[in-house]
Chains A and B, each alone.
Chain A
């Protein structure tokens, strides 16, 4: 059943994908009225799907890679909706919708997914760790989106080509603030998530876990994250510099995620 609801959600997210493509082609205007209800409905079905999965497995932590993708997509859209409530702009959807769609699509394929075999995954520590980290990732993704849009919009204003494809983007200050707010929101989640992760790793592997590539990259990501928040807060870095840094932070985060595939400590797959 969980998979069925996820597929229903996927149909709605498909509309989001269409919207993003249409908006890039400058023809998104016609869909603006339906897109928000569509995505909201998708998120509700998605929630039902996640709740059923939890009830079926009796554990909070995602049991498979697919489930973690599903959780991630859900969090991304939840953040997007929150941002919409604050700034009334659909523009981040240009990036967030396709991302959420792809993640959900992979999750909804339903072919026998690789199980996380390790018994450690059943503990509630892991569930906490995953939920916190994913929220942090989602915030970074949103911040990255806002930064990209900022750079596009800034370039168009500076070069005095204000018409054309991107002329309906939000104002620079709005994008700037949006990126910053997303960072501020995500930072505590990321920090606590990493702490929870290191508690687990410490217990299982001792100090050796520190040399693992996944751990190194995660720490690097956290440091970049910290620098971002700090420079912004203290040195008043904003605008283009902040946007570049935020993009960099997102790339490191993608690297940290990808490291799952060659990490010894942080393995999803059974041995």
Chain B
């Protein structure tokens, strides 16, 4: 049994290629069913996300033609994509899957979505029967590895986008964002994104003010928020706990005196200004007020840069874990392939031994307990001596390339039959 993996990802292929090979979610089940029926393939699973398309199969003889499957499935000439494809076998295929599931192969290392995507693919593959014992063991092991990486390293723990860094800071100030209100000053793309992050964490009551009022109305509509005339900005701003500014104003909109006014109206409840405009909308002097916290785009980016460096360091530790886990998985797999043969070999011999003793007992008549013991010992001794060499050979070849041949030969020589095939 061999694991094979063929695929493209964001590192090897531009989006034009990835989208060409992507299989949309509704068609994944059908694709996996066809994959599992492809000649030479026992089991198969397909991962198709925006950053990768990968086919992973378990093949009995290791000669599955994955390119052939791609060619048939897409009815296209895969040779055109050859330079973007990567192929891994056995150990490297296992390692690759572990790295993907642990988000070490992601564009943003440590992002948590990939594990969910792998889990979805696994559920689909199981449902259509494309994944059974072999791949099941491998993929569920990948989940365990991903979990270990997540708990033992900090690879996924820090914010690596400006928006998530802003959310993290807001939580440091307010604890929970539930019931906190957000004021968007300027209706840009970036502030919309950050607002979505804040709302996903429970922030409510969105206000939007924009110089062009229509855009404020449109954006407020998308959030179920309230559009406010730009002229009323200073009268209404104290209602917000978090103010996100992104206007194109040439001078600071919010200065120290505004901050003092807001604090007075708010009875000093804290305010968090996130200023992603360049030139800045918030005078940095405001940060000196007790109860007002100002972060501009450089501050946020500095946090992100620090976190990216942290992640890189943590990713190195994660790689060590993955290497350990690959070795552990393969070692277990190797012994698993020979164990059933050893067991059926021993069972076979025991059956023969018992049959022979029963046969000879009729002729020997009553035996004394000592004689009975001697017969048992003699027959056991012979069987063990005969089995010693084949069992040792099986154990030593476990994991070697010739293991399959050895297993096959021993099955045939001892007439073990195929019904107890490894793992199935």
A–B Cβ pairs within 8 angstroms, 6 of them: A171-B175, A171-B176, A172-B174, A173-B174, A236-B268, A240-B291
Residue A122 interfacial (CB < 8 Å): no
**Interface residue count for B (Cβ, 8 Å)?**
22
Residue B306 interfacial (CB < 8 Å): yes
Contact, CB under 8 Å: A240 / B267:
no
| Complex Cα spacing A157 to B303, Å | 12
**Interface residue count for A (Cβ, 8 Å)?**
17
| Complex Cα spacing A153 to B174, Å | 12
With A172-B270, A173-B270, A237-B268: A160-B173 Cβ-Cβ less than 8 Å = no
**Which B residues lie within 8 Å of A173 (CB)?**
173-175, 270
**Which B residues lie within 8 Å of A163 (CB)?**
306
Choose among B175, B266, B269, B299 the residue that contacts A160 (Cβ–Cβ < 8 A). B299
Cβ proximity bits A210-254 to B, threshold 8 Å, 1 near / 0 not: 000000000000000000000000001111110000000000000
With A160-B299, A163-B306, A240-B290: A171-B269 Cβ-Cβ less than 8 Å = no
Residue B287 interfacial (CB < 8 Å): yes
With A157-B173, A160-B295, A173-B173: A239-B270 Cβ-Cβ less than 8 Å = yes
| Complex Cα spacing A87 to B290, Å | 24
Residue A179 interfacial (CB < 8 Å): no
| Complex Cα spacing A239 to B268, Å | 8
Choose among A160, A162, A171, A238 the residue that contacts B291 (Cβ–Cβ < 8 A). A238
Choose among B172, B269, B290 the residue that contacts A157 (Cβ–Cβ < 8 A). B172
| Complex Cα spacing A163 to B308, Å | 13
Cβ proximity bits A136-177 to B, threshold 8 Å, 1 near / 0 not: 000000000000000001000110101100000011111000
| Complex Cα spacing A172 to B302, Å | 22
With A160-B299, A236-B268, A237-B268: A153-B293 Cβ-Cβ less than 8 Å = no
Cβ proximity bits B31-66 to A, threshold 8 Å, 1 near / 0 not: 000000000000000000000000000000000000
> 5 smallest A-B Cβ distances: which pairs?
A236-B267, A171-B175, A174-B175, A240-B290, A236-B268
| Complex Cα spacing A238 to B173, Å | 13
Contact, CB under 8 Å: A171 / B290:
no
Q: Which residue in chain A gives the minimum CB-CB distance to B174?
A: A173
**Which B residues lie within 8 Å of A158 (CB)?**
287, 293
| Complex Cα spacing A241 to B290, Å | 8
| Complex Cα spacing A173 to B272, Å | 12
Q: Which residue in chain B gives the minimum CB-CB distance to A175?
A: B175
Q: Which residue in chain B gives the minimum CB-CB distance to A87?
A: B175
Binding site for B on A (CB under 8 A): 153, 157-158, 160, 162-163, 170-174, 236-241
| Complex Cα spacing A171 to B303, Å | 18
Contact, CB under 8 Å: A162 / B172:
yes
Choose among B171, B287, B299, B306 the residue that contacts A171 (Cβ–Cβ < 8 A). B171
Q: Closest Cβ of chain B: how far from A141's Cβ, in Å?
A: 23
| Complex Cα spacing A171 to B299, Å | 19
Contact, CB under 8 Å: A162 / B270:
no
Instruction: Please name 16 further chain A to chain B contacts, defined as beta carbons within 8 Å, in addition to the given A171-B175, A172-B174, sorted by A numbering.
Output: A158-B287, A158-B293, A160-B302, A162-B168, A162-B172, A162-B303, A170-B175, A172-B270, A173-B173, A173-B174, A173-B175, A174-B175, A236-B268, A236-B269, A238-B269, A239-B291
Contact, CB under 8 Å: A172 / B268:
no
Q: Closest Cβ of chain A: how far from B150's Cβ, in Å?
A: 15
Q: Closest Cβ of chain A: how far from B264's Cβ, in Å?
A: 9
**Which A residues lie within 8 Å of B290 (CB)?**
239-241
| Complex Cα spacing A158 to B171, Å | 14
Q: Which residue in chain B gives the minimum CB-CB distance to A172?
A: B173
Q: Which residue in chain A gives the minimum CB-CB distance to B170?
A: A171
| Complex Cα spacing A171 to B241, Å | 14
Cβ proximity bits B132-169 to A, threshold 8 Å, 1 near / 0 not: 00000000000000000000000000000000000011
Q: Which residue in chain B gives the minimum CB-CB distance to A170?
A: B175
Interface hits, B170-199 → A, CB 8 Å: 171-176
Q: Closest Cβ of chain A: how far from B154's Cβ, in Å?
A: 11
Contact, CB under 8 Å: B268 / A157:
no
Contact, CB under 8 Å: B293 / A157:
yes
